[in-house]
Structure 1
Amino acid sequence: MTTPKYQIRAAHTDSTVTVYQAYAPEIGLPAAREGRFPAAWKRDRMTWIKPSFLWMMYRCGWGTKESQETVVAVEITREGFEWALEHACLSHYERGLHADRAAWQRQLRRAPARVQWDPERDLRLQPLPHRSLQLGLAGEAARRYADEWTVAITDVTPLARTVHERVRAGELEAARELLPRERPYPVRDGALAHLTGAA
């Protein structure tokens, strides 16, 4: 069955959804140890969360890029995740979706969250035809993410390294078995209509 071009896929429970980020060890390690972001984590900067483990691996080079050596899985409330989606603006202007470029820019300035849809990645980090959600949180959304929505933070750097080792060894099936179980995330009809312009 073909995966829809725009679909949120994530590890989720009845009350939470897991997203991924990569940080320098001085942020990522205390965050995982304490289960919350340390004081050094800037609440006034935009932070991008990604429900796709493999897209995170693409972004951080399996945890090898500078200042992205610690990969964390952040379990957040579904209520918070859905609030962010509802209040998000598409990160680029889309004719037909926005009245005009100026209206989109006004919306983008006001929105506490923004969405990009980037090509999903396979185990070799090659692009796939369907898209992966990237959700940027700023202002109110970033503060709520850090202080209200976060339920747990886990260091998954060892998992990233193990999966990468399997891929490099050509053991793709073994690597696939280790991946987090990401399923389509249930959203009500029309809930993503303001975020699914063609990328």
Structure 2
Amino acid sequence: MKQNQEIRADYNRDTIIVYQAYGEKIAIPAIKNKKFQEPFSFSRMTWIKPSFLWLMERSNWANKSNQEYILAIRIRRDKWDEALNMGVLTHPDSNVYSSGHEWEEKFNQAKVHIQWDPERNFKGTKLNYQSIQVGISRFLIQEYNEEWIVDIEDYTPLVKKIRTLIKEGKYKEAQRLLPNEKVYSINSEIGNKIAKNSK
């Protein structure tokens, strides 16, 4: 298990917020209906991320093509925990798997993929700990859409406001508008599976 991996998220007793970035054709119906519909793909993996600032780096603050809308997707915590429990890392970490063969077998059968990437601050600088991404496979996407999602909110106006403040050098004001993310506790069984220290 690794000391520099940490799940931080905006969550309450029942739900947790994860983020995704999409273009208008997918985002607008999702915001309106609180569910995804075509042209959202139900036949390939979709990645959800509880770190707001990681997605800001990924989407260049909603400026990349087909990532102009930032969606805050509130999902059930029990489903999030189930996903972590099913997760298989995207690389053969020797702290988790006894061999590359064991990892490959589990990875090929996995319904959920887990990946760790350097966390960012609001200036885009890499931090000294890693943030989690969770890949929901095509075998779970319908369930994700129909059963996990409680609400979908458009955070694009908030993103633009924070981005403007950063450009103006108003870092304290920008910091105050960031979602309130705190450490998300998981049990040791899940922690061992995803190479994370449990709390």
2:136 matched to which residue of 1? 137
Report deviation, 1:117. 0.8
Gapped regions of structure 2 (runs ≥ 5): none
Match for 1:22: what amino acid? A
Q: What secondary structure sits across from 1:59 in the alignment?
A: helix
The question of 1:149 aligning with 2:148 is answered yes
Aligned equivalents of 2:115, 2:91: Cα separation in 1: 8
Aligned equivalents of 2:174, 2:95: Cα separation in 1: 41
Match for 2:177: what amino acid? L
Give the alignment's Cα RMSD to 1 decimal.
1.4
Gapped regions of structure 1 (runs ≥ 5): none
Q: Cα–Cα, structure 1 residues 148 and 105, in superposed 2: closer, same or farther, change >3 Å?
A: same
TM norm structure 1: 0.94
Q: What secondary structure sits across from 1:139 in the alignment?
A: coil
2:94 matched to which residue of 1? 95
Q: Could you list the runs of 4 or more consecutive aligned residues of structure 1 that deviate by over 6 angstroms after TM superposition?
A: none
Report deviation, 1:190. 3.4
1:56-95 correspondence to structure 2 within 5 Å = 56-95=55-94
Match for 2:64: what amino acid? K
Question: For the Cα contact (< 8 Å) 2:26–2:38, is it kept in 1?
Answer: no
2:122 matched to which residue of 1? 123
Aligned equivalents of 2:95, 2:175: Cα separation in 1: 39
1:22 matched to which residue of 2? 21
Question: For the Cα contact (< 8 Å) 1:98–1:104, is it kept in 2?
Answer: yes
Report deviation, 1:141. 2.5
Report deviation, 1:54. 0.3
2:6 matched to which residue of 1? 7
Match for 1:6: what amino acid? Q
Aligned-residue sequence identity (percent) comes to: 34
1:39 matched to which residue of 2? 38
Report deviation, 1:25. 0.7
